Amino acid sequence: MSGLERLLRVVRHRVLRLLEKRGALPAQGPEDALQAYQAHSLQQRLRRAEDGRIAYRMKRPLPDGTTHHLFTGLELLRRLASLVA
């Protein structure tokens, strides 16, 4: 298993645990929780932009009118990892 795969497993586990603690996901098996979160995210906030990046819709626009942040897959993982580290 590569270092990136280990990192992804740790991030995935911590994100799911954090979401369960905050009540965003019911306590369930990790695979069920991941599938539920993915479905919720895709419906509510995360979308694939035309250029292939991931668009995150913010709750409120920024003062300059920005409504979305765009990330590559790796940039999004880095942001998530920093939240659960």
Mean pLDDT of the chain: 79
Quote the CA–CA distance of 30 and 32 in Å, as a whole number: 6
Show me where the domains of the chain are located: 3-84
Confidence of residue 21 (pLDDT cuts 50, 70, 90): confident
- CA nearest 45: which of 35, 56, 53? 56
So what's the pLDDT on residue 29?
58
pLDDT tens digits for 29-55? 556 666 776 666 555 677 888 998 989
This prediction has a pTM of: 0.46
**Residues 55 and 44 sit within 8 Å (Cβ to Cβ):** no
pLDDT of residue 44: 62
Is pLDDT above 80 for 75? yes
